[in-house]
Amino acid sequence: MTEMERRQDDKVAKVMLENLSKNFDDFRLENKEDHESIKEAQAHTNGNVTELQKWRFFITGGLGVLTVLVVPMLLFIAQQFIVRANAKEDTQKQINLAVVEALDNYQAEIVQ
């Protein structure tokens, strides 16, 4: 290989390295811009997720309050309804028994 060919090859290699370096710098710049847009999108998504988590915690807390306060009240009301229904039946039985006794007494007085 002659000196001139060697110089030619060195120039070609130098141009290739310069192009490679430029391409690498361009890639780094584009990559940095892409990273910035990804960070912005991530911040937006994280904000949305935070809002959804707040909503979920609100619903979970509401269900907890319902479970602790409202369900026992409903059970108490149902129990009182059953107790009163049973009391009405007992009262009706007592009335019927009193009427039967009164009729028996009345019939016994008539017979005498």
Tokens at residue 101, please? 């006794």
Question: In a 3-state reduction of DSSP, which class is residue 112?
Answer: coil
Angstrom distance (rounded) from CA 28 to CA 20? 12
pLDDT per residue over 22-63, tens digit each?
A: 988 888 888 888 888 888 878 777 777 888 889 999 999 999
Q: What is the predicted pLDDT for the residue at 33?
A: 82
Q: What is the pTM of this model?
A: 0.39
